[in-house]
């Protein structure tokens, strides 16, 4: 895990500025504090802030090929680089390092963009071809690692984080009303859109080539689900064994590092399974990390203790108080660079801080299991509502929904009539391609009523725009596959792997690795029949069968507890100065994003009741995080940063290259 930046100019009027590039590295140095390097010629400058994990002694970036016609900076890991390197050596390539970065460069030299099909990894890549004068940017299949860019007159600027791009004086931070509409529908703006006007994000599974004549963006991979009834026929035993083998090998590859590797351990099935697989490869002590909550409604300490005792890990834990969430949110928003509708990223930020304090740079985690193996309550909800829709007058069928959301107070307190009214909206419209998610999206979209007239786009429907992207792909899929495709596309990449993943880990110089997101596991899970992923209402059925006898039954059979964190008490029980300021009528008017009346009404509700509903909680953190974003990036963004040092610089002169500094 590293950070990369770059500037490209065809006009000659804005030749790459070493000072700017060094400041860009300064603002993302948390992503890679170990080493800094730049490549600069008369058209392109690009740099790397490196978190040294593989090849600690000779893997410094930028790296070039043998004749120095290709240069690369790279964020991420190629886990199968050992095998690829051996093949390239057999074909005559000469290596000057032991790094995975150089493997990328040589395979690109041989195959061009088709090299991406051979990588098992998580990556954001920038390669400059000095002969063809072509910049190549690429992002991994599932969007684990980010890359942002902004088109400039006869040029382009890119970086691992938006704050690096905003350092260019030609850029001005302005919130995008369309991105806010998406955020207040799907929980995040969807690439290529970002929350800032004029700045885009390369979509997962895409690459971009930039030449003097323009930009070309190409999709090289997409998630595939077979049509309903055409899934791969497989017995339960065979599927469980294959899943175990794939996950074991995915874990083995993700243990490749020249530094110590740890693991998150929440006490749930997914993280415990991965930690168990790690122990098979590392019989010596494994360091595991978890977070506990002072608020018992969110705490999983009981299962964490059970899992660590069973696995015999060296376990470290941090506790999160409600007040910690209120105190740390401004730091988190600086790193997420996007509004959030849940406070869940905050404890994850504190957890990665604990990891770094224990001198661990790499952790394996269980992300991806719920999405691809049928673990989310929204999948169960979809199944129940479709069953209910076959007899919409039934008073018994909707009662199956009772146990899905015991943690949402207004659902559990409202009684059966409320349950039927809430989940009965659009009940019989089962032929709609987004049936599984429309109720959630429509409910979240009510937050757009808080926006001011300048930011409220009544004629724009984010759902229509997103569904148009699928171009008929949803039709013909099983209901579960439809729901999975929607969840992965609109939630996992955009929010879970970003605000709750890469951004809060990289803030503390920690790299996350995700065996469930190995593309082989993902493609295998996509081919499985729905009944192997969800048996009745038993989530992740095949994973549980695979884990039987491998993990304690208390872990395998436990009811899934969604990861959540406190909201209103963290901000309103004992108001902090920044909260009072940003939510005051003056603060709301200063940003101009929200209408003061609805915000004041929301706060009066808390004063009257002392608590919030689920929707009101989301509205509170959505408004507050947007206000923080505006305060940090639009009103008070500081371009006067020191230049990073020491930095290793390669400058291209007339027919030669020379290294300077560092």
- Cα distances from 334 to residues 18, 102, 161, 345, 612, in angstroms, run 25, 32, 10, 12, 26
CB 291 within 8 A of CB 324: no
Residues 37, 394: Cα–Cα separation, whole Å: 66
Could you report how far apart the first and last alpha carbons of the chain are, in Å? Answer: 21
Name the pairing type of β-strands 362-364 and 261-264.
Answer: parallel
- Cα distances from 53 to residues 32, 88, 101, 222, in angstroms, run 10, 22, 11, 29
Handedness of CA 374, 203, 173, 161 (dihedral sign): positive
Query: Taking the CA atoms of the chain, what radius of gyration do you get in angstroms?
Result: 25
Cβ density class 243-264: b for 16+ within 10 Å, e for less: bbebbebbbebbbbbeeebbbb
CB 40 within 8 A of CB 652: yes
- Interior CA angle at 238 toward 307 and 530, to 5°? 80
Q: Which two tokens stand for residue 262?
A: 């740890």
- Interior CA angle at 376 toward 375 and 381, to 5°? 125
| Closest alpha carbon to 149 in 217, 198, 219, 213 | 198
| Closest alpha carbon to 512 in 520, 502, 499 | 502
Q: Cβ neighbours of residue 365 under 8 Å, at least 6 residues apart?
A: 263, 264, 271, 274, 512, 513, 514
Going by the DSSP 8-state scheme, the letter that residue 502 receives in this structure is I
Residue 2 annotated to the active site: yes
What is the 3 state secondary structure string of 49-115?
A: EECCCCCCCCCCCCEECCCCCEEEEEEEEECCHHHHHHHHHHCCCCCCCCCHHHHHHHHHHHHHHHH
Among residues 2, 115, 320, 650, which one is catalytic? 2
Residues 148, 194: Cα–Cα separation, whole Å: 9
CB 583 within 8 A of CB 329: no
| Closest alpha carbon to 31 in 167, 161, 196 | 161
- Residues belonging to the active site: 2
């Amino acid at each position: 895990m590293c950070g990369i930046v770059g500037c490209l100019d065809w006009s000659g009027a804005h030749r790459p500025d070493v000072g700017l590039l060094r400041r860009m590295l300064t603002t993302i140095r948390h992503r890679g504090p170990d080493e800094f390097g730049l490549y600069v010629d008369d058209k392109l400058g690009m740099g790397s802030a490196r978190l040294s994990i593989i090849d600690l002694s000779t893997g410094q970036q930028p790296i070039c090929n043998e004749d120095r016609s290709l240069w690369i900076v790279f964020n991420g890991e190629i886990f199968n680089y050992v095998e690829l390197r051996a093949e390239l050596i057999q074909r005559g390539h000469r290596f000057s390092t032991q790094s995975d970065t150089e493997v990328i460069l040589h395979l690109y030299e041989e195959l061009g963009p088709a090299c991406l099909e051979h990588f098992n990894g998580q990556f954001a890549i920038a390669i400059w071809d000095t002969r063809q004068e072509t910049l190549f940017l690429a992002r991994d299949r599932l969007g684990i690692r980010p890359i942002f860019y902004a088109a400039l007159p006869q040029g382009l600027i890119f970086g691992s984080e938006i704050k690096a791009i905003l350092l260019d004086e030609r850029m001005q931070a302005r919130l995008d009303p369309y991105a806010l509409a998406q955020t207040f529908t799907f929980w995040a703006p969807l690439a290529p859109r970002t929350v800032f006007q004029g700045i885009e994000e390369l979509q997962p599974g895409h690459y971009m080539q930039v030449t003097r004549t323009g930009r070309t963006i190409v999709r090289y991979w997409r998630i595939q689900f077979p049509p309903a009834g055409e899934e791969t026929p497989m017995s339960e035993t065979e599927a469980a064994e294959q899943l175990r083998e794939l996950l074991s090998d995915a874990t083995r590859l993700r243990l490749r590092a020249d530094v110590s590797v740890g693991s998150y351990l929440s006490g749930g099935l997914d993280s415990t399974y991965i930690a168990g697989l790690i122990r098979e490869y590392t019989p010596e002590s494994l360091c595991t990390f978890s977070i506990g909550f002072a608020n018992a409604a969110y705490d999983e300490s009981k299962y964490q203790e059970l899992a660590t005792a069973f696995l015999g890990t060296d376990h470290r834990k941090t506790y999160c108080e409600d007040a910690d969430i209120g105190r740390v949110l401004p730091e988190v928003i600086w790193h997420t660079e996007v509004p959030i509708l849940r406070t869940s990223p905050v404890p994850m930020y504190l957890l990665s801080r604990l990891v770094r304090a224990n001198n661990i740079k790499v952790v394996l985690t269980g992300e991806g299991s719920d999405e691809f193996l049928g673990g989310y309550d929204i999948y169960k909800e979809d199944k129940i509502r479709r069953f209910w829709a076959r007899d919409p007058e039934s008073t018994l069928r909707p009662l199956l929904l009772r146990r899905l959301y015991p943690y949402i107070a207004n659902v559990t307190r409202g009684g059966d009539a409320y349950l039927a009214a809430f989940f009965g909206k659009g009940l019989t419209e089962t032929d709609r391609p987004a049936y599984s998610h429309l109720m959630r999206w429509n409910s979240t979209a009510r937050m757009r009523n808080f926006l001011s007239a300048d930011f409220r786009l009544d004629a724009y429907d984010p759902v229509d725009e997103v569904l148009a992207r699928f171009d008929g792909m949803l039709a013909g899929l099983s209901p579960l596959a439809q729901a999975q495709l929607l969840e992965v596309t609109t939630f996992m990449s955009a929010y879970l792997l970003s605000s709750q993943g890469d951004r809060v880990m990289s803030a503390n110089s920690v790299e996350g690795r995700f065996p469930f997101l190995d593309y082989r596991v993902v493609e295998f899970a996509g081919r499985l029949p729905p009944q192997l992923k969800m048996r009745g209402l038993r989530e992740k059925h095949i994973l549980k069968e695979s884990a039987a006898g491998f993990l304690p039954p208390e872990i395998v059979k436990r009811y899934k507890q969604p990861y959540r964190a406190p909201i209103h008490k963290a901000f309103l029980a004992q108001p902090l100065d920044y909260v009072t300021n940003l939510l005051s009528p003056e603060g709301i008017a200063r940003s101009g994003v929200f209408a003061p009346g609805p915000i004041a009404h929301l706060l009066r509700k808390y004063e009257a009741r002392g608590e919030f509903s689920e929707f009101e909680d989301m509205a509170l953190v959505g408004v507050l995080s947007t206000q923080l974003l505006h305060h940090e990036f639009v009103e008070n963004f500081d371009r006067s940063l020191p230049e990073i040092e020491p930095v290793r610089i390669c400058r291209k002169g007339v027919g030669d290259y020379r290294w300077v500094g560092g």
